[in-house]
Structure 1
Amino acid sequence: MPSAPPRRRRIALPALAALAALVLAGCAAPADAEGETAATSLLPAAEGTTSYPLEIDTWAGSTTLEERPERIAVIGFSTNLDVVEVLDVTPVYTMTEESEWAWRDPEWFASIETIDTATRRDPTNFEGIAATRPDLIIALNYVWEQADFDKLSAIAPVLEYEEQAGDQADWRAGQQLVGDVLDLGAAATTAIEEADAAIEEVAAAHPGFAGKTTTIATDYGAQYDFEYYTPTGGTAESVMLDLGFAPNPLAERFVADPVISDENLALLDGDALIVIYSDEETRQARESQPLFQAIPAVAEGRYASLAASPDNELLLDPEGQEFENATWVLRRGASAASLPWAVEVIADQWLAGVELE
């Protein structure tokens, strides 16, 4: 993960004048039949607890929201749409999502004014964003280069974390941050509480998880790495702890480096082991290793073996039974919208065949 550059106040650079010019023509939203701006229907009524002007500190600099934003552009990972959807906020711009996420409301998504054909894997469409005349750009955990941050800031204030978070992003903090900035702090708190209650309900339905340790690993194949997915302090570990599992002391070994070498395969042990493979060939290669077969969780049948389907949408066990793929939600996809769905998948599908009682 790249280190965060020193914080400095945002400066409008002359080289960005062309982008800024796109915003100058007609910043106000068009009026509707009753004389109110169309933008007022994009957000719920303000709660009246956030004061503007509001200074926003990010890892790349500080900026000021002069008034409550109404036209919001959302870029980046699915979580950035999640945090506004649960607040009943409709952005004016977003990207095409890479998957039809199970928790996404398709009608809400279709109502977004501009859905770019680009996905998060494509270059950021600065001109397309500017054309929608946003007054805030939500880009949590997505902008990693100062130059890109500055280009976005020439269009509108950018909401990012104070520190670059990567896979360690706190979904609760992100949800609350967006709510507070939009003067919907109470609604954000409610969304977090409802998600936590849903997770607690799943945990209560599976008392056998309590006090047990678990390990999740992802095997990306011979050309890539075999990685420990639940290192101490990470998002994936926190999800499993919320489900009632106990911290696995072996996870501390993978905080600095998640790669699992053949020499440290024994560290994959736990009361339950879940390994997610990139494909069937990778699964067969790994499971043929004597060192892997000797891991107690594997040898004793406390092991869930899941390989990605060819389209990466589902996971398959060795018999071909299909399971939903919640892997993404355990890291950068964790949110108040996605986690209630994901923990049910983990508890009722992934771990259904693992005896923990």
Structure 2
Amino acid sequence: MSLSRRGFLSGTAGASLLLAGCGSGGASPAKQTSTPGFPVTVPGQLGSTTVAAPPRRVVAAGYLRDTDLALALGAELVLSVRNQSFAKGLAPWAKLRSGTETAYVTDGGLPLEKIAAAKPDLILAADDYSLAGDWSNLSSIAPTLGYQAGPGKDGWPEMTRRTGAALGKPDQAAALVKQVRDKIDGVGKAHPEFAGKTFTFGPVSTNSVYTINSTADAAATFFSQLGLKLSPKAAVLPSSTTPGRAQISPERLDLLDADVLIISYDSPASRATFEANPLFESLPAVKRGAYVPLDQTIGIAMAFPSVLSIPYALDVVAPKLATALKKGA
């Protein structure tokens, strides 16, 4: 997926930084001693990351998935980026340990002084879409794990494996990847009615309508792994300024029609307004009941997939798809 960190919903998906119990008086990084499996070196597009010993103070500096992976792999987070799309700044599938203190700063770029004061021995930044500019500063503070293929281009299995390698937990990372793939396969097998059905999916806000036009989009991959196929009408649409997504004019809502129509909304008000549009009401999929409305949280879970967000999205989306396709049959 190639998608600007601020480009998920109508070109904007803000982020802020959350300080997780890591004042400057916190413990210093552990003395580096010889440990089986270390030092470990993980190659990346901007440079290799060499970690000398098991990390005990980890900063998740990327947009969303660095935090997910740190939590999933049991890293000791001391500083983490948080997404303003969520009321508490943290995705519902990501749970910080009990008693963690938090403090927010504005989204004006990475607060390098705070990161340095946290005394990390590893910085996770594979989900930092501004990493080309941040790399030298971050890597001067601590070993920094960036992306392999490019901003937003590493798949969730690769991100999991690389983070696991840097943390010295390659087996745990491999197990997580297998667990999530097994869950995806299980949902597909439980719903053979999904196979071959066409879909359209995209975010709708008060002022804009988008739909996926690329099978390489992360959300398109999410649905295709369940057996669905991107609508041919959507696949030929020109991309907007957000790669993988086409903007739909108010007069061409017919381009959204498919065996099942899936839309995520940025607010209940946007949904109410859009659903009251006569052109929307006249779509065959809507008339059949083959329509799945989702909130922004689920849209983000699919657009920025991780070993934590994918199971969360599957549990919500799969039953809704099954109901919609049954109605539309």
Counterparts of 1:208 and 1:190 in 2: how far apart (Å)? 29
Counterparts of 2:220 and 2:260 in 1: how far apart (Å)? 13
Q: Which amino acid in the other structure matches residue 84 of structure 1? A: A
Q: Which amino acid in the other structure matches residue 330 of structure 1? A: M
* SS of residue in 1 equivalent to 2:235: helix
Deviation at 1:192, TM superposition (A): 0.5
What residue number does 1:190 align with?
175
* SS of residue in 2 equivalent to 1:216: strand
TM-score, with normalisation over the residues of structure 1?
Answer: 0.71
What residue number does 1:160 align with?
146
What residue number does 2:197 align with?
212
Q: Does 1:249 align with 2:232?
A: yes
User: CA separation of 1:296/1:133 partners in 2, compared to 1, >3 Å: closer, same or farther?
Assistant: same
What residue number does 1:135 align with?
121
- Find the partner of 2:255 among 264, 267, 272: 267
Q: CA RMSD in A?
A: 3.3
* SS of residue in 2 equivalent to 1:326: helix
Unaligned runs of 5+ in 2: 5-25, 241-245
Q: Which amino acid in the other structure matches residue 93 of structure 2? A: W
- Find the partner of 1:90 among 76, 82, 85: 76
Counterparts of 1:130 and 1:287 in 2: how far apart (Å)? 48
Q: Does 1:237 align with 2:220?
A: yes
Give matches, 1:57-76, under 5 Å. 57-58=44-45, 61-65=46-50, 67-70=52-55, 71-76=57-62
User: CA separation of 1:93/1:256 partners in 2, compared to 1, >3 Å: closer, same or farther?
Assistant: same
Counterparts of 1:78 and 1:347 in 2: how far apart (Å)? 23
* SS of residue in 1 equivalent to 2:292: strand
Deviations 1:60-86 (A, max 9, x none): x32441513513211233321211222
What residue number does 2:14 align with?
none
Deviation at 1:263, TM superposition (A): 4.8
* SS of residue in 2 equivalent to 1:218: strand
Counterparts of 2:192 and 2:226 in 1: how far apart (Å)? 9
- Find the partner of 1:296 among 262, 284, 295: 284
Give matches, 1:268-347, under 5 Å. 268-306=256-294, 308=295, 325-332=297-304, 334-347=305-318
Q: Which amino acid in the other structure matches residue 150 of structure 1? A: S
Across the two proteins, how many residue pairs are aligned to each other?
A: 297
Counterparts of 1:164 and 1:286 in 2: how far apart (Å)? 35
User: CA separation of 1:204/1:118 partners in 2, compared to 1, >3 Å: closer, same or farther?
Assistant: farther
Deviation at 1:96, TM superposition (A): 4.9
* SS of residue in 1 equivalent to 2:239: coil
Q: Is contact 1:209-1:356 (8 Å) kept?
A: no
Deviation at 1:175, TM superposition (A): 0.7
Identity fraction in percent: 27
Mark the structure with the bigger radius of gyration: 1
